[in-house]
Each structure stands twice: as structure tokens, then as C-alpha cells.
Amino acid sequence: MLGSLYIVSAPSGAGKTSLVSKLIELDSKIVVSISSTTRAKRPGEENGVNYHFIDLTTFEQKQAHGDFLEHAHVFDHFYGTSKSAVQEQLNSGKDVILEIDWQGAQQVRSLMPNATSIFILPPSLDELSRRLNARGTDSADIISRRMRDAVAEMSHYHEFEYVVINNHFDTALHELHSIFLAGRLKQAQQKMAHKALIKSLINAQ
């Protein structure tokens, strides 16, 4: 059975990475597509685990050859998602998450309109600022810029099918997981997963 494609977007500091990390621990059928990026590794990140860290020349070559399902320019760096890698994971029956911004989401929806899109919001701007400052990795100028960009990013929430507000982590995680569980119960998915059963039930007479 083919897996389903999910787009998960959020402003920086909304908790997307933490939620997605916990989600894939809970559900072995869910995987995250590993994007390529030109930005430098942050403390604790690993090449091939968090991102494929590549230089600008390599990124531009891949882009020119049409290797990306989507690509975006964010915070002075480039990000891109491999078409072939995503399709391979879907073909293996995995539900695949693309952690991308609203621009990337628009590109993916134009190519794969059946993708399910989810936007994660913080409970308030004050809490968003607190989370960004708590990281302790960015200067005040960078945090101010991230806050401005977050407001612009959040203005696109209405383009997404689902919205999860990350106020209480466990509640947000439950709501996020519920979207994936419900997706597997769609008629088309159940038809593929239980062909023999459904055939036996409707051809009983």
C-alpha cells in the first residue's frame, strides 16, 4: 500500500521540530523526508539525519537538473526536497512528512495535490519570543528578524487544511497524530489495505 504525503509548516519557534521528532517515535509508519540545505550545521545536528548539508554550487546543480520536489530561500540559505527520495518512501508504504515553509508547500501542492497540509501555531507572540530566546543560540538581532518573519509566515496559515496550536505539547502531539491516523482510514487507503476483505464482504451473495 502506498503511503501518504504530509506537509508540516510552522514559524520558527512554534515547536514543529519537537512535535515531529516525538511523532515518529510514536508511529513507525511515519518518516521525515531529509531535506538538503546550504546552511551550516547547528550544535547536535548530523549530516544525513537532520539535513543533507551541501554547498551552494551543489545545490544549484541539483536544482538545475530538476532534482527537487520543492526548494526555498529562507534566512539567507537554500533548502530543497528530493523527488526520488520522497517517492521511494511513499512506495514502501510510509507516511512521509515534509517539514517545509509555506512557499515550499505551494510548490508541492501544485505537483502533488493529494498531499495533506498541516500548520502549527504558537499560543501567543509572547510565548513564541520566549521559546526563541530560550534556545540561546541566536543574537537579539536574529531573534527580532525571526519574530518579524514568523508573523509573515503565520499569515499563510489559511492555505493549510489543518491547524494545530502548540500550547500544551502532549495535546498538540495527540492532535497531530490524529490527523495521520484519520488519513489511513480514508476509503481509498482502506480499499488498498484490505482488498481481499472488502471483496469478500461485498461479493458474499
User: Domain of 170: which CATH number?
Assistant: 3.40.50.300
pTM across the whole model: 0.85
Task: Report if residue 62 sits inside a domain.
Answer: no
Is the CB of residue 97 less than 8 Å from the CB of residue 17? no
Task: Report if residue 48 sits inside a domain.
Answer: no
**Residues spanned by the domain of 165:** 5-33+94-202
The upper half-sphere exposure of residue 203, i.e. CA atoms within 13 Å in the direction of its Cβ, equals 6
Q: What is the pLDDT of residue 148?
A: 93
Q: How far is 198 from 195, CA to CA, in rounded Å?
A: 5
pLDDT tops 90 at residue 142: no
Q: What is the pLDDT of residue 72?
A: 83
Determine the average pLDDT of the residues in 49-56: 92
Q: How far is 165 from 172, CA to CA, in rounded Å?
A: 6
Determine the average pLDDT of the residues in 62-90: 90
Is the CB of residue 98 less than 8 Å from the CB of residue 8? yes
Structurally, how many domains does the chain consist of?
Answer: 1
Task: Report if residue 11 sits inside a domain.
Answer: yes
Task: Report if residue 59 sits inside a domain.
Answer: no
Task: Report if residue 148 sits inside a domain.
Answer: yes
Task: Report if residue 167 sits inside a domain.
Answer: yes
Task: Report if residue 60 sits inside a domain.
Answer: no
The upper half-sphere exposure of residue 120, i.e. CA atoms within 13 Å in the direction of its Cβ, equals 31
Q: How far is 119 from 154, CA to CA, in rounded Å?
A: 9
Q: What is the mean pLDDT of the chain?
A: 92
Task: Report if residue 43 sits inside a domain.
Answer: no
Most trustworthy range by pLDDT among 43-52, 145-154, 160-169: 160-169
